[in-house]
Structure 1
Amino acid sequence: MDEKLYRELGQLTKDKSIWKQNIPYVASLLKNQSPKITAKAMWLLGEMGLLYPQEVAPYTKEIASFIISDNDLLRERTANALGRIGRADYDLVAPYFEELLSLAGDKSPNVRLSFIWASENIATNTWAVYENCLPIFAELLNDENERVRMEAPEMFRVLGKRKPEFVRPYLEKLEYIATHDEVSVVRIHAKGAIKATLSKTIKEPDAKTQNKQVR
């Protein structure tokens, strides 16, 4: 039964034209006893929420409740879903933002990875909420898991493109990682974060320069 339902959700995932009308049905599966089905439903609700945030809004509290689940996969998927919904409308996930941040220290590397990915999604359109959160991501730059370390610099790249002043205090650390990390992808991503931050800084003239240009 679970396999049949899982395949059904897979087919639904492919047909975005019927997503909106199926949001209540998919949300009902959050109560499914199978973690595999619940996880799939949660992931799909996240993707639906990116397109139809207001229609998914009634279910965000239930999605966020899985942040404290004992199941690693469900914690992973709640991060995925909240990230996508939050990218579309941060206000819908704002009540759960502090809880979401707690996943940065999760025991599962997959959850930590999904947390970074979710944060990148939210920061794309609502970067200001991360102004005081950079120490959390700086810690993840040194994560013992390679995949987490590969993704961590991407958060600095996303923020560096939008608010370079958030990232400037971490440029020295990123430079060190870009030179010394044993994993090439980590080094490449660190260089990308540095480049995004510096290029944005160069493109933005300071107030004096702007005044001269006006004159």
Structure 2
Amino acid sequence: MALKSGIHYGRVKIMLSSNDKEIIDELRKIQKSRDCWKNNIDFVADKLNEIYSVEVKAKALWVIGEIGLIYPEKVKEYIDVIVGYIEDEHPKLRERSVNALGRIGRADKNLIIPYMDKLMKTREDDMEKVRLAFVWACENIATNAPELFCEKLELFKDMFSDPGEKVRIEAPEMFRVVGKRKPECVRPYLEKLEYIAKNDKHPIVRIHSRGAVRITKDALKKDNA
């Protein structure tokens, strides 16, 4: 009988087989050693195969996303596999798939553009962690490609009233990221952001909203100087 070890996802402790633990330990070692990333992409991608456990696939999705941030072209052939987990029944895999796309898209928007519609639909996921991953991933992509979101900001405004506290905390950050590079896109939302900055019940939401307003106004001043 295989020995079991535990890994924590939030407050839930998942029991791993000894084989799972060995694979996850190996993936962690790879994650910590950037010098070996190029030579281990195939090893990591192989762990996205259906034969592996949810825990192994979740870790592999995280690692391949981090590799993709540095070597986007090297993970290009595996993007279809990553995208496939966006609709997986297990929320951890949906979350990690979205995270990975965000990191890869930050490095090379062209690798992600064909999948933008699928990515945008994850904002409607039933699980807060997946919706949070959606905002985080879009922030990553918008860091270098804010133009992809100029016509989508209304969707992020709607997330100001998301039932998930962490999502509401993160949503204003999208306006900060876009506002820094494309302030005219955020200008129509400044009044709403200013209102939230003064009136939202959560202090971090207020702080993030103030930051979005400040960054956008500073960028507008520079554009008009």
TM-score by length of 2: 0.89
Please name the residue that 1:184 is paired with.
Answer: 203
Residue deviations 1:11-53 (CA, integer Å, cap 9, x gap): 1111111011100110000014311110110110000001111
Alignment of 1:82-161 (within 5 A): 82-161=101-180
Structure 2 residues not aligned, in runs of 5+: 1-18
Query: How far apart are the structure 2 equivalents of 1:26 and 1:33?
Result: 12
1:33-89 residue CA offsets vs partner (Å, 9 max, x unmatched): 311110110110000001111110000011011111111001100111000000111
Q: Which runs of 5+ in 1 are unaligned?
A: 207-215
**Does residue 72 of structure 1 match 2:91?**
yes
Aligned counterpart, 2:5: none
Instruction: Give SS of 1:30's match.
Output: coil
TM-score w.r.t. length of structure 1 = 0.93
What is the root-mean-square deviation of aligned Cα atoms in Å? 1.0
User: In structure 2, what residue type is equivalent to 1:87?
Assistant: R
Q: Which has the higher helix share?
A: 1
Aligned length: 206
2-structure distance, mates of 1:11, 1:33: 18
Partner SS state of residue 141, structure 1? helix
Q: Percent identity?
A: 48
Deviations 1:168-206 (A, max 9, x none): 111111111111111111100000000011011111127
Q: Name the structure 2 match of 1:213.
A: none
Summarize the alignment of residues 6-25 of structure 1 with structure 2, pairs less than 5 Å apart: 6-25=24-43
Aligned-partner SS, 1:182: coil
1:26 aligns with 2:36: no
- Larger strand percent: 2
Residue type matched to 1:109 in 2?
Answer: E
> What is the distance in 1 between the residues matched to 2:26 and 2:139?
30
CA distance in 1, matches of 2:189, 2:224: 21
